Amino acid sequence: MRGVTVLGANGRMGQALVRLLADHPRLRLAGALTEPGHAAVGRDAGELAGIGANGVRVTDRLPEALANTEVVIDFTAAAATPGHVLACAERGLPVVVGTTGIGGAGEAALKAAAVRVAVVYSRNMSLGITVLTELAAQAARLLGPGFDIEVVEAHHRHKVDAPSGTALQLGEAVAAARHQSLADVRVDDRSGARPAGGIGFASIRAGAIVGDHSVLLVGEEETLELRHHAADRALFARGALRAADWVIGRPAGLYGMRDVLGL
């Protein structure tokens, strides 16, 4: 069994990872980190996740969390992730990053770490979203510029960023398939006529929606809709564990979920 340290073990994703690791055939929980001074410090990670004691205590000391592990999964906060990733690189530990909104500083840290260790980064760890992104790119390439493209996403009322990182990922994929830069063709302002070749985004924030994403390719006589519905956040944790299982032993470099799935 290969040891996994979960950074952000007190969060929803962290607890989902702890629960799934309890029954994983090849991976086991080896460390659990929370933010400094959090009430979860010292608690058993299994009890915190609602599955009973597993003997791994939650700590707010990163060196302690990384002491006996072979791979690290980070679902923390954008401000914390760069430091976590660089610390993993210093220790030669491969890392899977699912933290969203990391920005330029975070991306720079990922690239720096990837010189020394294998890093898997994705704005959405869902296996289905990875396949959706591939299908949307193929559709955009095959249908060509005569089809308008809309990316529609819906999330719970508390989500702050819009469009979602996943929606932007989809937009980047379809833009690249049409030899465009998303920055040049992105349409957020819906007033006035639609610009030719534009890729539009629409966001919904309501209730407790886990995450819905659709890519609409709309022509004069037909519409193709590709859609992914997330029913439970455990799917993101399951994808992260697949990435963690895959990345152990890989050469240094920056990878994505497409690499994990062999696309």
- Give residue-wise pLDDT tens across range 79-126: 999 999 999 999 999 999 998 888 888 999 999 999 999 999 998 899
Q: Could you report the per-residue pLDDT of 201-238, keeping only the tens digit for each? A: 999 999 999 999 999 999 999 999 999 999 998 999 99
Query: Which residue intervals of the chain bear CATH 3.40.50.720?
Result: 2-121+234-261
- Calpha distance 231→135 (Å, rounded): 21
- One-letter amino acid of 49: A
Q: Which residues are catalytic?
A: 155, 159
Q: Helix axis angle, 81-90 relative to 103-114, nearest 10°?
A: 10
Using the 8-state DSSP alphabet, how is residue 163 labeled? S
> Which residue intervals of the chain bear CATH 3.30.360.10?
127-230
In angstroms, the CA 25 to CA 109 distance is 32
- The hierarchical CATH code for the domain 2-121+234-261 is 3.40.50.720
Closest CA to 14 of 63, 64, 65: 65
Q: What is the three-class DSSP state of 224?
A: strand
CB contact set of 250 (below 8 Å; sequence gap of 6+): 94, 118
Domain 127-230 in CATH 1.10.10.10: no
